[in-house]
């Protein structure tokens, strides 16, 4: 089953404590990169959520944003910084005693000092509340990535079919082409032998070596093997994106060799078509996890 590296999911979860707005987005990336924007939770709990992401996603850039709105509508709360108040009182009491100053410290005086009243975002949330919506968000993201993966798989399978057909036509034509090459070279050699004294056996040996260099049968067999490997890989449930990249590289290598060895317009036209399909496959494989 193919999963695309690109996907998007969004859910809203209503709880008695408030509402969670969750979004997840994935993009192509060579490795797994996780970005989390969460309400305030403990570091250990955040690491648990990261591990959960890794169980669902093996490769790609993942951005997850979760916003927490409490049911009372409060987005921030006022708090007295008691530790700061205590320090101010201690400092002022020492100052009054050391320098014999008069006067009383009042609430008005204290409120005039800095950092006595602070605002805190009222977005703390427990991992227990966050766990299920987080899991549901990832499951929905998986569904979207699988849906897009099916489209990619259909395209890849169709292009493999085209490549196999073109390769079949090349394989069918090649014996006639190689035989024609051989006969033409033999005729020219025999014409030369009639006018010049040449070791016929040595010439035939060189001819055999030359014809072997033109032979594309091994490349055809290897390309067939890569096609079957690619097709089999599409049916696995693993993260296959990197493996597909490697197979495509080998397919390109064999196709280029066939094109460079062949000196036939019919075969070269099919080689070009194979290259076009392989290039499209390469582009699609960049989207596969």
Q: What are the backbone angles phi and psi of residue 66, rounded to the nearest 5°? A: -130, 125
What is the per-residue pLDDT for 45?
86
Overall pTM > 0.85: no
Confidence of residue 1 (pLDDT cuts 50, 70, 90): confident
Which tokens in the block code for residue 1? 């089953």
On whether the CB atoms of residues 68 and 22 are closer than 8 A, the answer is: no
Pick the CATH number of 148-285 from 1.10.8, 1.20.140, 3.40.50, 1.10.357: 1.20.140
Fold of 7-73+123-145: Ribosomal Protein S5; domain 2 (3.30.230)
Which pair of tokens denotes residue 146? 């699988």
Number of residues that this document lists for the chain: 289
DSSP string for 95-128? HHHHHT------HHHHHTSTTSEEEEES----HH
Edge-to-edge strand order for the sheet containing 18-27? 7-14, 18-27, 60-70, 32-37
Does residue 161 carry a pLDDT above 80? yes
- 39 sits in which H/E element: none
Asked whether residue 74 carries a pLDDT value surpassing 60, the answer given is no
pLDDT bin (cut points 50, 70, 90) of residue 77 is low
Which residues are within 8 A (CB) of 115 and not within 5 positions of it... i.e. 6 or more apart? Answer: 81, 84
Residue 237: name the closest of 66, 79, 3, 34 by CA: 3
Please list the residue range(s) of the chain that carry CATH number 3.30.230: 7-73+123-145
pLDDT tens-digit readout, 200-256: 666 566 665 565 667 888 899 999 999 999 999 999 888 999 999 999 999 999 999
Top-confidence residue, 283 or 117? 283
Q: How confident is the model at residue 120 (pLDDT cuts 50, 70, 90)?
A: low
More confident residue, 222 or 186: 222
């Amino acid at each position: 089953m193919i999963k695309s590296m690109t996907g998007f999911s969004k859910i809203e979860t209503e709880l008695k404590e408030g509402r969670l707005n969750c979004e997840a987005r994935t993009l192509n990336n060579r490795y797994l990169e996780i970005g989390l924007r969460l309400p305030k939770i403990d570091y250990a709990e955040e690491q648990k959520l990261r591990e959960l992401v890794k169980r669902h996603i093996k490769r790609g850039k993942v951005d997850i944003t979760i916003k927490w709105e409490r049911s009372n509508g409060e987005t921030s709360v006022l708090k007295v910084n008691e530790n700061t108040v205590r320090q101010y009182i201690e400092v002022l009491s020492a100052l009054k005693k050391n320098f014999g100053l008069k006067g009383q410290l009042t609430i008005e005086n204290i409120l005039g000092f800095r950092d006595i009243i602070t605002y805190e975002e009222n977005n703390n949330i427990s991992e227990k509340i966050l766990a299920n919506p987080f899991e549901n968000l990832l499951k929905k993201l998986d569904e979207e990535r699988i849906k897009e993966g099916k489209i990619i798989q259909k395209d890849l399978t169709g292009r493999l079919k085209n490549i196999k057909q073109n390769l079949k036509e090349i394989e069918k034509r090649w014996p006639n082409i190689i035989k024609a090459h051989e006969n033409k070279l033999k005729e020219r050699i025999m014409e030369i032998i009639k006018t010049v004294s040449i070791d016929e056996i040595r010439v035939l040996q060189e001819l055999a070596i030359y014809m072997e260099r033109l032979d594309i049968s091994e490349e055809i067999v290897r390309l067939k093997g890569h096609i079957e490997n690619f097709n089999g890989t599409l049916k696995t449930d693993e993260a296959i994106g990197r493996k597909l990249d490697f197979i495509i590289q080998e397919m390109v290598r064999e196709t280029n060799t066939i094109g460079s060895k062949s000196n036939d317009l019919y075969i070269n036209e099919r080689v070009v078509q194979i290259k076009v399909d392989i290039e499209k496959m390469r582009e699609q494989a960049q989207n596969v996890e």
